[in-house]
Amino acid sequence: MIEVKDLRVLYGRTPALQDVSITVKTGEVVGIVGTNGAGKSTLLLSILGVVKPARGEILLDGVPLTNVAPEDIVRKGVVLVPERRHIFHGMSVEENLRLGGIFRKDKEGAAASMQYVLDLFPKLRQFLPNRAGALSGGEQQMLALGRALMANPRLLLLDEPSLGLGPLIIDRLFEDLMRLRDGGLTILLVEQSVDRLLAVADRAYVLRSGRVALEGVAGSLSRADVQAAYFGLEGAKTGS
């Protein structure tokens, strides 16, 4: 579905991504792991068209996304749940959800998506008229995911969805992600927890200093391999 080829991104003269190539196939969960500053968020923002690369290609279904506006990329079915969620705290839960479908013209489809989101996250139903900022961290993450699903995505980009959440809430979050994948949604997941990422991903990439340090089938990558690549230690190998 998505192919990133030899992507180079600069912030000023500082390279954030250097010759990064990844692929995401339809129906997969692909994981990205790396230290702070490794380029993970920059990669997601580049796919969404927010950050413009200095070199390289990003293809959606084989069609280049170069110079496509972010809102048009969303209309093509690529949707981001950003790090720290970025919900609109002063608006109601329902208003936040409806904003997720702002680019949709199919009213019946949007209504069906709302029902789907509320069935997936039934806790949100009772909070629909409430101010979003009053929700707990876990509830806000449900809202952020629900808002993204309102756009009827084909590819969901998730940037550190477990950040700041307790272990039990994170367990529930990853159960939700697996249900989404089982429903046919393609997911590109940035996650700090190596164990959780390897448990849910089909394939994984490790970014270090803006480069792909390791890639492979998640089931073939050991925690030790990923950590070695993560920290730049000797002995990291590519999973096949």
Phi-psi region at 78: left, alpha or beta (left = phi > 0; alpha = psi -120 to 50): beta
- Of the pLDDT bands very low, low, confident and very high (cuts 50, 70, 90), residue 240 is very low
pLDDT of 140-177, one tens digit each?
988 999 999 999 999 999 998 888 778 888 888 888 88
Range 66-95 average pLDDT: 91
Q: Which domains does the chain carry?
A: 1-77+154-240 (3.40.50.300), 79-153 (no CATH)
Task: Label residue 164 exposed, middle or buried (CB < 10 Å: 0-12, 13-18, 19+).
Answer: middle
Model pTM greater than 0.75?
A: yes
Residue type, 3: E
The three-class DSSP label of residue 4 is strand
